Structure 1
Amino acid sequence: MVDVEELLERLKIANRIELDDIPEIDLYMDQVIQLFDNKLATGDLNEKVLTKTMINNYAKSGLLLPIKNKKYTKEHIILLCLIYQLKGSLKINEIKQLLEELNNKILNEDFNLKNFYSYYLEVMNLNSVHFSSNLHIHFDETKELISNINNKDSNYLDKVLLISSLVQMSNLYRSAAEKLVSDIASERD
């Protein structure tokens, strides 16, 4: 059977870059990469959190504010944090549509990105609580359903059912996010 508490611990859902983690001084690209690796690395050595190529591609595609003197400000790092989270579910083009107006507000208005990011972190905290609670519900529901099967493979079947349920929920959330990005793009046109 799946141990939900152990799974939650392994997920490290609390890993994030807090505002206090971001230095007030501008950073060079290697320092930005090191910050992301230190705060967000999953332990999989083959999976890089952030690379020079990624940062350069984000800058070229207009996802980031213009970079001055090869240094990255606190605003750049906040945007990279948002991109890091978004790229798990959205295409780069969708992320660009989503962040285009935000970048314009940062450049052309007196917009406090740090305040916005603090709200974002609060939402992340709430999402972690909701996720933990919902994972327990999914676990209990699949365990109840699979208990009707008297089979030596019930542990395996329980995991397959739980995984299928989680993937379907992920797909529903991703679809909802894609629709909202599409709404933003159509409102701009």
Structure 2
Amino acid sequence: MKNIDELISSLALTNHISLQDIPKMDLYIDQVIELFEESFKESKREQKEKILTKTMVNNYAKGKLFFPVQNKKYSKEHIMLMSLIYQLKGALSIKDIKDCLQILNKEIVDDNFNLEEFYESYLQLSFKNIAVFQDDLRQKAEEVKEEIDTIDGKNKTEMERTLLIASLVSASNLYRRAAEKLVDGIIEKEES
């Protein structure tokens, strides 16, 4: 790849909803959607893409991905959970997300849990993952370039791009499968 740093900067990797971004007062659904659209607008693949819609939020509520809403207003905890859902749905099924978040929802409802501390830890790990990802992406690009040099072909640039895509998808699938196995462990624990 010609400029892997351009690719990295175009990914808007640091887009997130921080605790400071979440108002202290409860929000109506339109305000929640606006918060998500504003926070993740640079992460969109296409401009017309919607980050969060009323239908999505209603489906999350019906699917019990988060604890019930009071008076049609979403609390800070709801917003943190929706932010986690937004990130998780890139790799996991809605059922897996529900299984993954069920303990958080239970703890929040039982009033035994500070979700802010958990969410802040999640954000810290995300930033560490970004640094690791950037280094790894640069390394993968170098490895692909070395592999392409051993292959005969006319359009090496496009072959290099395709090989890098395949390598990234392969790595992504490995992480997704590991996450799914961890979710399966939650399910097995619940069943026993």
Superposition TM-score tier, normalisation by shorter sequence: over 0.9
- Provide the rounded CA distance (Å) in 1 between the counterparts of 2:157 and 2:47: 30
Q: Secondary structure at the match of 2:142?
A: helix
CA displacement 1:10-64 (0-9 Å, x = unmatched): 1111111111000001111000000000011234222110000000010111111
Match of 1:52 among 54, 57, 76: 54
- Provide the rounded CA distance (Å) in 2 between the counterparts of 1:99 and 1:149: 46
| Partner residue, 1:35 | 35
- Provide the rounded CA distance (Å) in 2 between the counterparts of 1:117 and 1:33: 19
Q: CA deviation at 1:5?
A: 0.2
Residue 154 of structure 2 corresponds to residue 152 of structure 1 = yes
* AA aligned opposite 1:30: D
- Provide the rounded CA distance (Å) in 2 between the counterparts of 1:17 and 1:158: 35
Q: Secondary structure at the match of 1:66?
A: coil
Identity of aligned residues (%): 48
Contact (CA 8 Å) 1:2, 1:159: kept in 2 or not? no
* AA aligned opposite 2:179: A
- Provide the rounded CA distance (Å) in 1 between the counterparts of 2:113 and 2:89: 24
Q: Runs of 5+ in structure 2 lacking a partner?
A: none
Deviant stretches of 4+, over 6 Å: none
- Provide the rounded CA distance (Å) in 2 between the counterparts of 1:171 and 1:141: 19
- Provide the rounded CA distance (Å) in 2 between the counterparts of 1:64 and 1:179: 22
| Partner residue, 2:20 | 20
Q: Runs of 5+ in structure 1 lacking a partner?
A: none
- Provide the rounded CA distance (Å) in 2 between the counterparts of 1:140 and 1:146: 10
TM-score, with structure 1 as normaliser: 0.97
| Partner residue, 2:8 | 8
Equivalenced residues, count: 189
Superposed counterparts of 1:91-110, under 5 Å:
91-110=93-112
Q: Secondary structure at the match of 1:75?
A: helix
Q: CA deviation at 1:65?
A: 1.3
* CA-based RMSD: 1.0
Q: CA deviation at 1:152?
A: 3.2
Residue 187 of structure 2 corresponds to residue 180 of structure 1 = no
